[in-house]
């Protein structure tokens, strides 16, 4: 029988120090404890890790967690261990494989983190058969879908492993999946449609604005000057990152650092650590910056060019205001962004072209709309939001009013 509600609350408090669940966490944990496979779509910062870590502590056996990045696994490992959970990873950078395997076989691990390419190997299946498995948790589950924004072919190889343990429930987790991607995840991981739990996507403390780009360095300076707290600026290329970081450091007088995959890893780590510790730093970065960064007080996220999709936009802007305090997300777009995106589209193989094109069209819809940005965003994720949020540019400065003002100014200055 699944543990009682009392026992669950007790473990929540004793292991994690939390006095209650947030949002849909309790629904997800409930299903998992009853052995029901589930896909939980919960925004970044909603607390997805808890939905498998708590069952991992309560259930007999080991919870196997599939995660796409070594850095993410090690972050999770640190925080799990800090809570006294018996957790381990088996990655190429771990020196303690032997101890981990011994502990696993002896049934001493609550959590075992593993990369998809290793999880899908026959040797790993044999290893799992040597002890009791309580749960399969598949983190960043959108990676299994070609419809998702970050397809990883290795995720496709997980199904045979899961199917080899039909009695073990599956918990797929993702922050960003539109309707297509959700349906695909359910199919690819063999989870029934009734197992879908979607949390609200709204981030009411984020004020959205999307503006045409003219002189972007000047526009970004404006954003920085108006927002004294920490911020992230996403730029489309490494060269652009370097250039903007230099210009903005001079023009704003704020601490500004660059971050992109072309920098040596020591520099990246150093810049990231400085940003996390700072109360006023601006990080100019490519999208390489973000996954797994735990900084609750980011006050603004600005885009110097268009993101890849609405999912990407939501994920990147979602790094602002995790502490719930007022924050802003400003995108500066230009027609040339779309020209470049269309050129890239031509290079993609045909199977992906349709989904890529659709992604771009949805993004254009968000940029061009005169309706509430939040409403468009939330409808994209399948919600039925109110027509106006009152906290985005189109609500606060309705287009006809702007037009009327410009017209009035023209008339006045004539
Ligand atoms: P996600 O993976 O959904 O982005 P995380 O699992 O990393 O989110 O959790 C985000 C933060 O929320 C963490 O700091 C975590 O400790 C905190 N958190 C999770 N659940 C709760 C809860 N029930 N009460 C308070 N804080 C929570
Ligand atoms: Mg997570």
Helices (H), 227-264: 238-252
Question: For residue 409, what pLDDT is reported?
Answer: 46
270: tokens are 């150093």
Nearest ligand 1 atom, CA 21: 23
How far is the C-alpha of 280 from the C-alpha of 247, rounded, in Å? 17
406: tokens are 């410009």
- Is the beta carbon of 49 within 6 A of some atom in ligand 1? yes
Specify the residue with its C-alpha closest to ligand 1, atom 13.
Answer: 47
Helix (H, G, I), strand (E, B) or coil at 287: coil
How far is the C-alpha of 304 from the C-alpha of 234, rounded, in Å? 6
Which residues, other chains included, contact 207 with Cβ-Cβ below 8 Å and sequence gap of 6+?
Answer: 326, 327, 328, 329, 391, 392, 396
- Is the beta carbon of 45 within 6 A of some atom in ligand 1? yes
- Is the beta carbon of 48 within 6 A of some atom in ligand 1? yes
Asked if pLDDT for residue 412 goes beyond 50, the answer is no
CA of 51 to the centre of ligand 2 (A): 10
172: tokens are 């797929």
CA of 51 to the centre of ligand 1 (A): 9
Q: What are the tens digits of pLDDT across the range 233-288?
A: 999 999 999 999 999 999 999 999 999 999 999 999 999 999 999 999 999 999 98
Instruction: Report the share of the chain in percent with pLDDT over 70.
Output: 96
- Is the beta carbon of 79 within 6 A of some atom in ligand 1? no
How far is the C-alpha of 159 from the C-alpha of 224, rounded, in Å? 46
Nearest ligand 1 atom, CA 49: 6
Report DSSP letters for 159-183, one per residue: HHHHHTSTTS-EEEEES---HHHHH
**46, 47, 140, 294: which to mutate for ligand 1, most atoms within 8 A of CB?**
47
- Is the beta carbon of 46 within 6 A of some atom in ligand 1? yes
CA of 150 to the centre of ligand 2 (A): 15
Strands 62-66 and 133-138: parallel
Specify the residue with its C-alpha closest to ligand 1, atom 23.
Answer: 21
Specify the residue with its C-alpha closest to ligand 1, atom 18.
Answer: 47
- Is the beta carbon of 132 within 6 A of some atom in ligand 1? no
Residues with CB under 5 A from ligand 2 (ion): 48
Confidence of residue 414 (pLDDT cuts 50, 70, 90): very low
How far is the C-alpha of 323 from the C-alpha of 298, rounded, in Å? 8
Helix (H, G, I), strand (E, B) or coil at 185: helix
Question: For residue 381, what pLDDT is reported?
Answer: 82
Cα 322 to Cα 81, 82, 315, 326: the distances in Å are 23, 22, 12, 10
- Is the beta carbon of 111 within 6 A of some atom in ligand 1? no
Cβ-contact 171, 354 below 8 angstroms: no
CA of 174 to the centre of ligand 1 (A): 14
Which residues, other chains included, contact 140 with Cβ-Cβ below 8 Å and sequence gap of 6+?
Answer: 67, 68, 72, 150, 173, 174
Taking alpha carbons only, the member of 368, 332, 335, 333 closest to residue 219 is 332
The ipTM, to two decimals, is 0.98
Which ligand has the nearest atom to the CA of 67? 2
Nearest ligand 1 atom, CA 48: 3
Question: For residue 126, what pLDDT is reported?
Answer: 94
Helix (H, G, I), strand (E, B) or coil at 60: coil
Q: Where are the beta strands (DSSP E) in 36-76?
A: 38-41, 62-66
Q: What are the tens digits of pLDDT across the range 334-351?
A: 989 998 998 888 888 887
Which residues, other chains included, contact 403 with Cβ-Cβ below 8 Å and sequence gap of 6+?
Answer: none
Which ligand has the nearest atom to the CA of 175? 1
How far is the C-alpha of 267 from the C-alpha of 274, rounded, in Å? 10
Q: Where are the beta strands (DSSP E) in 205-299?
A: 206-212, 231-234, 256-259, 282-285
Asked if pLDDT for residue 410 goes beyond 80, the answer is no
**Choice among 75-79, 214-218, 233-237 with the minimum mean pLDDT:** 75-79
Question: For residue 400, what pLDDT is reported?
Answer: 60
Specify the residue with its C-alpha closest to ligand 1, atom 26.
Answer: 18
Q: What are the tens digits of pLDDT across the range 153-189?
A: 999 999 999 999 999 999 999 988 888 899 999 999 9
CA of 52 to the centre of ligand 1 (A): 12
End-to-end CA distance of the chain: 80
């Amino acid at each position: 029988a699944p543990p009682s509600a009392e026992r669950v609350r007790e473990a929540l408090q004793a292991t994690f120090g939390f006095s209650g669940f947030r949002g849909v966490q309790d629904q997800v944990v409930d299903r998992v404890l009853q052995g029901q496979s589930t896909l939980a779509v919960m925004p970044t910062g909603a607390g997805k890790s808890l939905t498998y870590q708590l069952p991992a502590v309560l259930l007999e056996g080991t919870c196997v967690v599939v995660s796409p990045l070594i850095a993410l696994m090690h972050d999770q490992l640190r925080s799990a261990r800090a809570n006294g959970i018996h957790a381990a990873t088996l990655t190429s950078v771990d020196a303690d494989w032997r101890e981990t395997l011994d502990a696993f076989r002896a049934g001493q691990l609550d959590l075992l983190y593993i990369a998809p390419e290793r999880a899908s190997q026959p040797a790993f299946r044999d290893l799992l058969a040597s002890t009791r498995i309580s749960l399969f948790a598949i983190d960043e589950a959108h990676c299994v879908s070609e419809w998702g924004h970050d397809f990883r072919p290795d995720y496709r190889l997980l199904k045979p492993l899961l199917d080899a343990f039909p009695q073990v429930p599956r918990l797929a987790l993702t922050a960003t999946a539109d309707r297509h991607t959700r349906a695909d995840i359910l199919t690819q991981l063999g989870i029934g449609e009734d197992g879908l739990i979607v949390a609200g996507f709204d981030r009411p403390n984020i004020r959205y604005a999307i503006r045409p780009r003219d002189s972007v360095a000047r526009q970004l300076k404006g954003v920085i000057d108006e927002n004294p707290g920490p911020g992230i600026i996403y730029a489309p290329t490494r060269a652009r990152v370097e250039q903007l970081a230099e210009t903005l450091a001079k023009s704003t007088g704020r601490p500004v650092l660059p971050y992109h995959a072309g920098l040596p890893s020591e520099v990246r780590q150093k810049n990231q650590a400085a940003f996390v510790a700072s109360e006023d730093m601006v990080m100019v970065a490519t999208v390489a910056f973000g996954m797994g960064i735990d900084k609750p007080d980011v006050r603004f996220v600005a885009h110097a060019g268009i993101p890849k999709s609405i999912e990407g936009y939501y994920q990147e802007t979602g790094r602002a205001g995790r502490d719930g305090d007022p924050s802003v997300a400003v995108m500066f777009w230009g027609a040339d962004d779309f020209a470049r995106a269309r050129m890239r589209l031509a290079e993609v193989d045909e199977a992906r072209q349709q989904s890529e094109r659709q992604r771009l069209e949805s993004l254009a819809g968000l940029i061009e709309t005169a309706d509430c940005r939040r409403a468009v965003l939330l409808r994209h994720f399948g919600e039925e939001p109110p027509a106006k949020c009152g906290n985005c540019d189109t609500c606060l400065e309705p287009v006809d009013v702007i037009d009327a003002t410009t017209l009035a100014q023209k008339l006045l200055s004539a």
